[in-house]
């Protein structure tokens, strides 16, 4: 998280809180309030020499834990040293002049003031820390650029992952379509094989005896089978061939009947004529005897 706001100087000059504390205000030492005054005086001086103290602005009631060491921004403890610039007991007898650097509400500020060593109160104000603000502004820009880079990388990775998922899904769909097509083709081939192996209505005598049925019924296992359009054409062609074969058999049978009928009629007339001639001969013979 960034430690400072983007425009620190504008915030320091326009914010009412900073505007109030930028003027000299009464301050008090707030440590060890439950202890006697003389003990608090000794403890305050000891804390200042150690480089820290708890001081409050009376006008706002804001209590700050001040650090009086130089290079307080450094992460190395050996760089944070106590100097007379930040803790000065010599400039004015009976008072200690203090200076502290810190970030308050996202703005780099300097705390400057003094505290009476007897009364443990004094006067102080906040100043805008221009030098440290520039350093923190550079750090903020670097953080923003780094965050933007990470966000862009995350977005690129997310888009790449989405693209990979889409490609994987498309491959899966193509594979499923191929499997469905192969399964459908296998069903068609199996149905055609079953149809070709099934009996087509028996021999010619059975076809003539079953003249009332002109088309052989389809096998039951093909009635509910979803076949390819080519199979329907093949089935229709077979039915037409069977129908033509049946018609040819009927015509052949009819021709045989027509040829056989005159033969019977002629044989009957010849037999009748021979029998009549024989009777006539017998009659003549009997008449001659008489």
The per-residue pLDDT for 189 is: 87
Average pLDDT, the chain: 79
- CATH 3.40.630.10 for the 8-128 domain, yes or no: no
Residues 170-219: pLDDT tens digits? 999 999 999 999 988 888 888 888 888 876 554 444 444 444 444 444 44
Q: In what order do the strands lie in the sheet with 52-57?
A: 62-67, 52-57, 25-29, 121-128, 107-116, 95-104, 87-88
pLDDT digits (tens, 9 = 90+) for 220-238: 444 444 444 454 455 555 6
Most confident of 152-161, 185-194, 243-252: 152-161
Instruction: Kindly report the backbone phi and psi dihedral angles of residue 209, in degrees, each rounded to the nearest multiple of 5, phi listed first.
Output: -75, -25
What is the mean pLDDT of the segment spanning 32-44? 95
CA dist list (Å): 163 to 152, 160, 170, 171: 16, 5, 10, 12
- Residue 33: predicted pLDDT: 92
CB proximity list for 215: less than 8 A, separation 6 or greater? 239, 242, 243
Written in H, E and C, the secondary structure of the chain is CCCCCCCHHHHHHHCHHHHHHCCCEEEEECCCCCCCHHHHHHHHHHHHHHCEEEEEECCCCEEEEEECEECCCCCCHHHCEECCCCEECCCCCCEEEEEEEEEECCEEEEEEEEEECCCCEEEEEEEECHHHHHHHHHHHHHHHHHHHHHHHHHHHHHHHHHHHHHHHHHHHHHHHHHHHHHHHHHHHHHHHHHHHHCCCCCCHHHHHHCCCCCCCCCCHHHHCCCCCHHHHHHHHHHHHHHHHHHHHHHHHHHHHHHHHHHHHHHHHHHHHHHHHHHHHHHHHHHHHHC
Q: Which residues contact 221 (CB under 8 A, 6 or more apart)?
A: 194
For the chain, what are the domain ranges?
8-128, 131-188
Closest alpha carbon to 98 in 109, 108, 83: 83
pLDDT at 187: 86
Q: Which residues pair with 126 in a beta bridge?
A: 111
Cβ contacts of residue 225 below 8 Å, gap of 6+?
Answer: 187, 191
| Residue with the larger pLDDT of the pair 276 and 111 | 111
Q: What is the pLDDT of residue 69?
A: 87
Q: Mean pLDDT over residues 51-62, rounded?
A: 94
Pick the more confident residue, 287 or 74: 74
Which is more confidently placed, 286 or 245?
A: 245
End-to-end CA distance of the chain: 161
Q: Residue 78: what pLDDT? A: 73
Answer for the pair 129, 115: CB distance below 8 angstroms, yes or no.
no
pLDDT digits (tens, 9 = 90+) for 71-125: 777 777 777 788 889 999 999 999 999 999 999 999 999 999 999 999 999 999 9
Q: What is the per-residue pLDDT across 76-88, written as a single tens digit (0 to 9) for each?
A: 777 778 888 999 9
pLDDT for residue 276 is more than 60 = no
* Per-residue model confidence (pLDDT) at position 208: 44
pLDDT confidence of residue 75: 75
Mean pLDDT for 51-78 is 88
- Residue 3, pLDDT score: 87
Using the predicted structure, report yes or no on whether residue 265 has a pLDDT greater than 50: no
């Amino acid at each position: 998280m960034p430690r400072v706001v983007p425009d620190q100087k504008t915030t320091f000059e326009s914010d009412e809180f900073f505007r109030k504390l930028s003027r000299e205000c009464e301050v008090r030492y707030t440590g060890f309030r439950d202890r006697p005054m003389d003990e608090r005086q000794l403890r305050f001086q000891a804390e200042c020499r150690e480089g820290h103290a708890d001081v409050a602005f009376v006008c706002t009631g804001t209590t700050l834990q001040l650090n009086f060491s130089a290079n307080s921004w450094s992460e190395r403890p050996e760089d944070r040293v106590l100097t007379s610039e930040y803790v000065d007991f010599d400039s004015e007898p009976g008072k200690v002049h203090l200076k502290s650097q810190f970030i308050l509400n996202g703005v780099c500020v300097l705390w400057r003031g003094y505290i009476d060593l007897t009364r443990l109160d004094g006067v102080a104000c906040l100043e805008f820390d221009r030098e440290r603000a520039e350093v923190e502004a550079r750090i903020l820009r670097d953080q923003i650029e780094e965050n933007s880079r990470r966000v862009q990388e995350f977005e690129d990775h997310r888009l790449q992952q989405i693209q990979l998922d889409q490609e994987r899904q498309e491959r899966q769909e193509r594979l499923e379509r191929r499997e469905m097509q192969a399964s459908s083709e296998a069903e068609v081939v199996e149905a055609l094989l079953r149809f070709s192996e099934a009996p087509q209505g028996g021999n010619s005598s059975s076809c003539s005896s079953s003249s009332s049925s002109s088309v052989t019924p389809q096998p039951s296992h093909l009635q509910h089978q979803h076949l390819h359009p080519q199979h329907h054409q093949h089935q229709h062609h077979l039915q037409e061939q069977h129908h033509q074969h049946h018609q040819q058999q009927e015509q052949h049978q009819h021709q045989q009947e027509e040829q056989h009928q005159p033969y019977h009629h002629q044989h009957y007339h010849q037999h009748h004529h021979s029998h009549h001639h024989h009777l006539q001969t017998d009659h003549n013979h009997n008449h001659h005897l008489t």
